[in-house]
Amino acid sequence: MDTAIRISNLRKDFGAVTVLDIDALTIEPGTVTAFIGPNGAGKTTLVKLISGIWAPTRAKVLTVFDEPVDQSVRRRSTTNVGVVVDSSQLFGMLTVEENVDYMARLYHVPKADRAERVRAALEACGITDRAHDRAWTLSTGLKQRANIARALVTKPRLLLLDEPTSGLDPVSAEQVYDTILALRGAGITVVACTHIMAEVSDLSDRVLFINHGKVVADGSPTELLSHVGRVVHTIRLPQDRLDQTRAQLLDHGVKRTVVRRDEQGVLLTALDCPDSRVLESLGFDFERRAADLRDAFLVLAGD
């Protein structure tokens, strides 16, 4: 079976700055993989390199379903890659159906199949009832679903989503999630860049944490949690006690903490402290909860 994405010695520089440097990476077909990481980590750059929109500075191997990613042959490629960025990819004056049809024609979908493929793409995204509405009249969530339909009409084997639910309310986001899950069920390989941990835990088979252009962590959502343990403790304290508290925790073997500030003071989250008695013995008033991917994100981002 083909490998969906295969990367070896991939590098992208912008001037003197290396924004992406990946030694090796493979993504298997039919899976949903999330690229997560802080802003500027290189997630979008990686998506644009895989899609062929941008050219790498260096790439020993960069293939999609064993076909080299090369802009000059992209049009003639039989392995279509769909890219969904945001609703600005839609032409507002055109209807949803026309937007999808536009892409079908650009990607040389045979005339005999075009109408059916457009219909199927709209149906897959649950937007058939809005097919004849102009794109600019749709809500943000519906626009994004229309955008996904636009990408699906070419029957891509790989679908790249760059923050697919950015700016969407929870209901709209849920509708997009349902669409993505349906795509996985249909055997399409999905790669999604996201900051939303709910998307990562609910949708993804695999998570790649990218920071400073490198893959820092790679595993299932559950495996990613191993970076923070099973439980975390959160202590609220005034700003002037922060350094003292951290020093006390460090003396008791609690090396990793995350600090957040709000109008009430400081929230200190202790990450590698499975035993609450340590904090009790220090007299802290704390809250204990199960670790989640947001904690893993903060640790891996080096916050």
Partner 1 sequence: MVAQILTHGRFAFLQVWKDKSMWLKVLLMLPLAEVLPLLLVGRAFLSYDQLQAFLFTNLAWCFVASVIMQCLYVFQSVTQSAKLDLLIAADGGLAGWVVGYCGMTSLVYMASAAVSCGLLGLGLGYPVSPAALLVAIGLVVPAVLALMAVVLGLCLRWARILHLVNSTLDVLQVLACVMYPLAALPAILRPAAVLTPLMWVNQYLWTGQGWTLLVALGLCLVALVAAFAWMRRCVARYRRLGNMGRSR
- The smaller minimum CB distance to partner 1, of residues 12 and 227, is found at 12
Q: Where on the chain is the footprint of partner 1 (CB under 8 A)?
A: 12, 14-15, 45, 48, 51-55, 71-75, 81, 83, 85-86, 88-89, 91, 93-94, 98, 102-103, 105-108, 134
* Shortest Cβ 105–partner 1 spacing (Å): 4
Q: By CB neighbour count within 10 A (0-12 exposed, 13-18 middle, 19+ buried), where does 42 fall?
A: buried
- The smaller minimum CB distance to partner 1, of residues 154 and 204, is found at 154
* Shortest Cβ 84–partner 1 spacing (Å): 9
Which amino acid type is present at position 188? I
- The smaller minimum CB distance to partner 1, of residues 55 and 290, is found at 55
- The smaller minimum CB distance to partner 1, of residues 148 and 279, is found at 148
* Shortest Cβ 101–partner 1 spacing (Å): 8
- The smaller minimum CB distance to partner 1, of residues 88 and 264, is found at 88
* Shortest Cβ 128–partner 1 spacing (Å): 20
- The smaller minimum CB distance to partner 1, of residues 7 and 254, is found at 7
* Shortest Cβ 228–partner 1 spacing (Å): 32
* Shortest Cβ 102–partner 1 spacing (Å): 5
